[in-house]
């Protein structure tokens, strides 16, 4: 089979009406960049024979072979997209395909063929494991944003040379720190109390190798990300998170002309500042902040506070956005738009804290779990501190202050100031009531794909609860929700809120979302190249 | 859940994994009377939700081959009986040997398999490529293959049996921990639980890796040992690998699931017992990746998506423990399934149910009975083909 022509260069993919980059696994729905930060499955391509490369994170050089995955003959016209039309209610792989007996092996072959994204890498890409490095140090700071930089600067000022891991490849180092750009901390097991350097941290590098860090103390300042939302067509090209919009739509040549921005808070303000001339409307689940309202009125952008986003209309791209005033009684209406930018909710990255065994607690303000932290950012794991969004800091100033505090916490001698758990709060997250209304209104026609990695439908989740399956862990295993390449980042936070409604419990009671390592997929070749354990050899 | 009924149960089963649920199903089908399954976690929280989904009939012992052959027939029909698809796919099992001694071992296994009427084949190294073309033959000295072995997707197995148990009137209590075994005059009369006492004429210990703990609650010393095994899944790829592959030398096993993920593990040493919980270790990620990439070099750029671990429930001779404990009438074992309890459950549960109902089973007491470990003159036979 001839390789498909290369998709448009990654920096400016899939704008208004431009072709999708790939197709989804089950229903072969068109997929174009969504998150912009390398987590979702919407921009996977095959580069030089290596499958599942996130094009939003990859600068293809001239001469590299970029191929479309999961579509034939092309991502734009994909024969198997017929499945999406033929099975409007979805394909039931759990209970369908059981009869007649003689056909079962045949079903199996077809279903198996449909699964999976990308083919095995070309044998020519086979290489020896990329040799990794062992780095021993006193202090590691994971994340080189506002908070992490502030922490690193404080540590340097105190006469240390901290190791800083920063996911972005092009960032300016903190002078005096050992700076690892393009490096993501992926696994932080619980510390070994008796060891000289109790922490072991595995990190993934952009050159395909891995690091094994041994440290005395760790500051995790890995920030957060913009969440998704459940509505009909939420997986359509043109639906983006705020980060996705920022990353993929440079101001000088935005890929959308008139976007609906969802959310009424600080992220929406940032989007208005950046793309104001290309925003059609601001829609929010609740009230809209006064400074957002002010800026919007300067830009002549209409506001729709307390409004449900029912869905988007358009098969290959967004053409209209269906909205309904909350509170019932008033009819749904549509707004012409070619994009939806989700700016309503930022969630902290909890994985490293959970892996390390830190106590996690429900934060009703964000509607998500985060580590229990004290005033200094200390977690319940001695030697592990949180800073920035991980510690609940919402503004750059607060993030910097929390970085300094975390540095002081890991520098202090004596006992570790283990934090007390926050008292349970009666607060509800804004989206709880929102989803209650959305479910009773019904999101309208079309598939509501709640897990775009695995093409899991809202109906499947609701059916599972009707059958009596309860709790996020079971629903996840029952439906496949959250088991795909993004590891549930974009569906499980909303699933918690929706399941809480269905089960008549609080989201906290619906369960914790287990975070299995690694934080992001890490190549077998990188892990294979990790150096032998020096302590095992000793 | 203070409304938990206390009685009257004919059988109370400790553990809502595949073994406990399947046992409940068999008992209810046999009309045993009221049955309750007590599970302290969520459905599939134990090994039944953490395993590799392998189903094989290649074993050292002909007894095991025979029982697994029966289980394979059951898995083939599972969808029609239980209404959910386990997607049992008979892509075969390919065992790889790296030394002449291992080749000899595999030859013996193939002889046992063929003696039971199955089409096991001993292969030259190059023959292995026919079944798994992506393998690197570097260091491979020989192989065996059995085409009716296969893999399944475990979760729908749990859901299907769970729903069948409930449809037959069985109770499955989730989030209820068994904290004690109640006895009167030297026989079982019920259990103590986190939700209060339960009365039952018979108790089945189907607690998987925790079965030793549960037996000890009843004051019974047992040789079962919980050993933690780690496992990982890669990004899902289009189908490229049909069989489950096992390398004897380091116990590496892996297959490609119906979802496209390469799922597999390899044993790294851990302290025994259930205290550690179910974490992942850097040592596992490193050795597993090295071993896998050595065997399939093309996998090097493929990402590990997630890793987890679970408990095997090991016995000294590698055979499970099925039947009534001679020291405590009314206390039945359905445990010691090592890394193979899922595949065996349709067949093992029949024997467990028979023994609870006082019927005769076809099990050799020297190999399966709980009492065998009490016998100083116990026969030396063991099931040693444990990896995968
Ligand atoms: C990594 C790994 C890979 C494996 N691969 C395979 C494979 O490929 N093929 C195969 O056939 N098998 C495999 N196995 C083994 C298989 O998973 C187990 O043998 C099987 O699931 C055992 O089922 P079970 O019901 O006995 O135990 P479990 O599923 O562990 O269920 C026992 C249940 O008992 C509950 N429990 C324990 N104590 C109490 C208490 N006091 N009160 C109430 N409830 C309690 C636990 O919560 C648990 O849910 C693997 C296992 C692991 C860990």
A219-278 pLDDT, tens digit per residue, is: 999 999 999 999 999 999 999 999 999 987 665 555 788 999 999 999 999 999 999 999
Judge whether residue A14 has pLDDT over 50.
no
d(CA A280, CA A276): 9
**B337 in contact with ligand 1, CB cutoff 6 A:** yes
What is the end-to-end Cα distance of chain A in Å, rounded? 52
Sheet with strand A239-241: strands edge to edge: A239-241, A339-342, A259-262, A279-283, A303-304
**B14 in contact with ligand 1, CB cutoff 6 A:** yes
Q: Does A536 touch chain B (CB under 8 A)?
A: yes
Judge whether residue A16 has pLDDT over 70.
no
- A266-283 pLDDT, tens per residue? 999 999 999 999 999 999
Atom of ligand 1 nearest to the CA of B343: 11
pLDDT at A3: 42
d(CA B339, CA B373): 20
Q: Which residues of B touch A104 (CB under 8 A)?
A: 79
**Sign (positive or negative) of CA dihedral A241, A473, B287, B303:** negative
> What is the secondary structure of A397-440 as a DSSP string?
HHHHHHHHHHHHHHH--SS--PPPPPPP-----HHHHHHHHHHH
Mean pLDDT over the full length of chain A: 91
CB–CB of B282 and A522 under 8 A? Answer: no
Which residue on chain A is closest to B303 by alpha carbon? A523
Atom of ligand 1 nearest to the CA of B342: 11
Angle at B362 between CA B361 and CA B367, to 5 degrees: 105
Judge whether residue A17 has pLDDT over 60.
no
Q: Which residues of B touch A47 (CB under 8 A)?
A: none
Where residue B173 falls (left for φ over 0; alpha for ψ -120 to 50; beta otherwise) is beta
Measured in angstroms, how far is the CA atom of residue B53 from the centroid of ligand 1?
A: 12
Q: Does A537 touch chain B (CB under 8 A)?
A: no
- A101-125 pLDDT, tens per residue? 899 999 999 999 888 989 999 888 7
CB–CB of A208 and B301 under 8 A? Answer: yes
Q: Does A39 touch chain B (CB under 8 A)?
A: no
- A387-428 pLDDT, tens per residue? 999 999 989 999 999 999 999 999 998 889 989 988 877 778
Pocket test for ligand 1, best of B19, B37, B181, B207 (most atoms within 8 A of CB): B207
CB–CB of A129 and B302 under 8 A? Answer: no
Atom of ligand 1 nearest to the CA of B231: 1
* Residue whose tokens read 């689940």: A285
Nearest to B261 by CA among B291, B284, B231: B231
Across the interface, of B45, B292, B304, the residue whose CB is closest to A522 is B304
Across the interface, of A94, A480, A485, the residue whose CB is closest to B235 is A485
Atom of ligand 1 nearest to the CA of B337: 19
Q: Which residues of A touch B293 (CB under 8 A)?
A: 129, 524-525, 528
pTM of the complete model: 0.95
Q: Which residues of B touch A214 (CB under 8 A)?
A: none
* Pair B44, A474: CB distance under 8 Å: yes
C-beta neighbour count of A273 within 10 angstroms: 11
Domains of chain B: 1-89+150-224+315-388 (3.50.50.60), 90-149+227-311 (3.30.9.10)
Atom of ligand 1 nearest to the CA of B310: 53
Which residue on chain B is closest to A70 by alpha carbon? B238
Q: Does A93 touch chain B (CB under 8 A)?
A: yes
Where residue A199 falls (left for φ over 0; alpha for ψ -120 to 50; beta otherwise) is beta
Backbone angles phi, psi at A239, to 5 degrees: -90, 125
Q: Which residues of B touch A468 (CB under 8 A)?
A: 166
Judge whether residue A1 has pLDDT over 60.
no
At residue A98, the 3 state secondary structure works out as: coil
**Packing angle between helix B341-356 and helix B154-167, nearest 10 degrees?**
20
At residue B49, the 3 state secondary structure works out as: helix
- A121 CB burial (10 A radius; 0-12, 13-18, 19+): buried
C-beta neighbour count of A429 within 10 angstroms: 21
Measured in angstroms, how far is the CA atom of residue B48 from the centroid of ligand 1?
A: 4
Nearest to B327 by CA among B230, B254, B218: B218
Nearest to A379 by CA among A397, A406, A404: A406
Interface of A with B in 103-142 (CB under 8 A): 104, 108, 111-113, 115-123, 125-129
Residues sharing a CB contact under 8 Å with residue A505, sequence separation 6 or more, in sequence order: none
CB–CB of B84 and A127 under 8 A? Answer: no
- A484-493 pLDDT, tens per residue? 999 999 999 9
Measured in angstroms, how far is the CA atom of residue B18 from the centroid of ligand 1?
A: 7
Judge whether residue A81 has pLDDT over 50.
yes
CB–CB of A528 and B286 under 8 A? Answer: yes
Which residue on chain B is closest to A214 by alpha carbon? B282
Quote the ipTM score.
Answer: 0.95
d(CA A305, CA A301): 13
* Pair A236, A225: CB distance under 8 Å: no
Give percent of chain A with pLDDT exceeding 90: 77
Interface of B with A in 49-108 (CB under 8 A): 49, 79-80, 83-85, 87, 89
| Residue A357 C-alpha, separation from nearest chain B C-alpha, in angstroms | 10
Which of B285, B294, B295 is the best residue to mutate to test the A interface, defined by the most A CB atoms within 10 Å of its own CB?
Answer: B285
Across the interface, of A99, A468, A470, the residue whose CB is closest to B80 is A99
Residues of chain B with pLDDT under 50: 1-2
Give percent of chain A with pLDDT exceeding 70: 95
Measured in angstroms, how far is the CA atom of residue B50 from the centroid of ligand 1?
A: 8
pLDDT at A153: 98
d(CA A358, CA A341): 33
């Amino acid at each position: 089979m001839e390789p498909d022509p290369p998709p448009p260069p990654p920096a400016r993919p899939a704008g208004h009406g431009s072709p999708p980059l790939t197709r989804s696994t089950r229903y072969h729905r068109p997929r174009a960049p969504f998150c912009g930060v390398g987590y979702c499955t919407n921009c996977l391509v095959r580069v030089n024979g290596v499958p599942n490369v996130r094009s939003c994170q990859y600068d293809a050089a001239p001469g590299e072979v970029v191929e479309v995955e999961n579509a034939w003959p092309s991502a734009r016209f994909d024969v198997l997209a017929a499945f999406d039309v033929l099975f409007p209610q979805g394909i039931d792989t759990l209970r369908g395909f059981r009869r007649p007996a003689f056909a079962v092996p045949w079903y199996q072959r077809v279903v198996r063929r449909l699964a999976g994204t990308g083919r095995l890498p070309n044998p020519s890409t086979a290489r020896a494991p990329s040799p990794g490095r062992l780095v021993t140090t006193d202090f590691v700071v994971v994340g080189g944003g506002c908070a992490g930089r502030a922490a690193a600067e404080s540590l340097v000022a105190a006469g240390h040379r901290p190791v800083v891991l920063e996911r972005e490849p092009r960032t300016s180092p903190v002078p005096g720190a050992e700076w690892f750009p393009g490096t993501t901390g992926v696994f932080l097991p619980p510390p070994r109390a008796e060891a000289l350097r109790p922490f072991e941290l595995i990190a993934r590098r952009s050159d395909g190798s891995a690091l094994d860090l041994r440290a005395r103390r760790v500051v995790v300042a890995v920030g957060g990300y913009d969440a998704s939302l459940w509505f009909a067509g939420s997986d359509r090209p043109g639906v983006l998170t705020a980060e996705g919009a920022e990353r993929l739509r440079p101001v000088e040549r935005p890929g959308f002309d008139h976007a609906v921005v969802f959310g009424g808070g600080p992220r929406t303000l940032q989007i208005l500042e950046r793309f104001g001339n290309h925003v059609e409307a601001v829609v929010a689940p609740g009230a809209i902040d006064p400074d957002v309202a002010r800026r919007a009125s300067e830009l002549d952008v209409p506001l729709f506070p307390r409004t449900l986003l029912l869905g988007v209309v358009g098969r290959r791209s967004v053409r209209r956005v269906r909205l309904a005033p909350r509170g019932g009684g008033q009819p749904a209406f549509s707004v012409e738009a070619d994009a939806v930018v989700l700016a309503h909710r930022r969630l902290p990255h909890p994985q490293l804290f959970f892996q390390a065994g830190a106590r996690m607690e429900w934060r009703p303000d964000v509607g998500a779990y985060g580590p229990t932290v004290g005033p200094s950012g200390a977690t319940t794991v001695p030697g592990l501190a949180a800073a920035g969004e991980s510690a609940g800091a919402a503004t750059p100033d607060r993030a910097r202050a929390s970085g300094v505090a975390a540095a002081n916490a890991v520098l202090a001698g004596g006992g570790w100031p283990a934090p007390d758990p926050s008292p349970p709060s009666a607060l509800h997250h804004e989206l709880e009531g929102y989803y209650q209304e959305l479910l009773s209104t019904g999101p309208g026609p079309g598939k509501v794909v709640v897990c775009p990695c695995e093409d899991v439908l809202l109906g499947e989740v609701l059916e599972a609860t009707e059958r009596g399956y309860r709790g996020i862990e079971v629903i996840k295993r029952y439906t496949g929700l959250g088991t795909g390449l993004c590891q549930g980042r974009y569906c499980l936070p909303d699933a918690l809120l929706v399941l809480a409604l269905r089960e008549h419990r609080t989201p906290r009671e619906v369960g914790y979302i287990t975070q299995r390592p690694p934080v992001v997929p890490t190549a077998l070749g990188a892990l294979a190249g990790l150096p032998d354990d020096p302590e095992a050899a000793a | 859940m203070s409304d938990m009924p206390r009685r009257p149960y004919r059988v109370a089963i400790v553990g809502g994994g595949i073994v406990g649920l399947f046992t409940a199903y068999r008992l209810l089908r046999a009309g045993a009377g009221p049955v309750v399954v007590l599970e302290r976690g969520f459905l599939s929280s134990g090994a039944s939700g953490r395993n590799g989904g392998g189903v094989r009939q290649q074993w050292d012992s002909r007894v095991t081959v025979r029982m697994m052959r029966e289980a394979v027939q059951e898995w083939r029909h599972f969808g029609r009986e239980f209404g959910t698809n386990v997607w049992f796919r008979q892509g075969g099992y390919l065992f790889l040997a790296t030394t002449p001694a291992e080749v000899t071992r595999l030859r013996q296994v193939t002889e046992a398999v063929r003696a039971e009427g199955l089409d096991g084949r001993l292969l030259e190294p190059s023959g292995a490529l026919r079944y798994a073309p992506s393998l690197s033959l570097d260091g491979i000295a020989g192989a065996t293959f059995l085409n009716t072995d296969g893999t399944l997707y475990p979760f729908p197995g749990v859901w299907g049996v769970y729903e069948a148990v409930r449809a037959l009137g069985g109770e499955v209590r989730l989030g209820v921990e068994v904290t004690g075994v109640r006895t009167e005059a030297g026989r079982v009369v019920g259990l103590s639980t986190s939700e209060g006492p339960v009365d039952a004429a018979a108790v089945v210990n189907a607690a998987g890796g925790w079965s030793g703990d549960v037996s000890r609650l009843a004051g019974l010393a047992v040789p079962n040992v919980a050993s933690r095994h780690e496992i990982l899944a890669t990004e899902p790829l289009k189908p490229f690998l049909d069989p489950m592959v096992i390398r004897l030398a380091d116990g590496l096993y892996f297959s490609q699931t119906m979802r496209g993920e390469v799922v597999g593990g390899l044993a790294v040493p851990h302290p025994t017992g259930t205290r550690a919980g179910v974490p992942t270790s850097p040592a596992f990620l490193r050795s597993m990746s090295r071993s896998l990439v050595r065997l399939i070099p093309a996998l090097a750029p493929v990402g590990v998506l997630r890793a987890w671990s679970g408990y095997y429930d090991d016995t000294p001779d590698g055979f499970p423990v099925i039947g009534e404990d001679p020291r405590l009438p009314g206390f039945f074992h359905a445990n010691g399934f090592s890394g193979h309890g899922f595949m065996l459950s349709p067949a093992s549960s029949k024997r467990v149910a028979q023994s609870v109902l006082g019927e005769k089973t076809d099990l050799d007491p020297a190999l399966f009975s709980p009492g065998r470990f009490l016998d100083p003159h116990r026969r030396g036979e063991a099931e040693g083909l444990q990896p995968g």
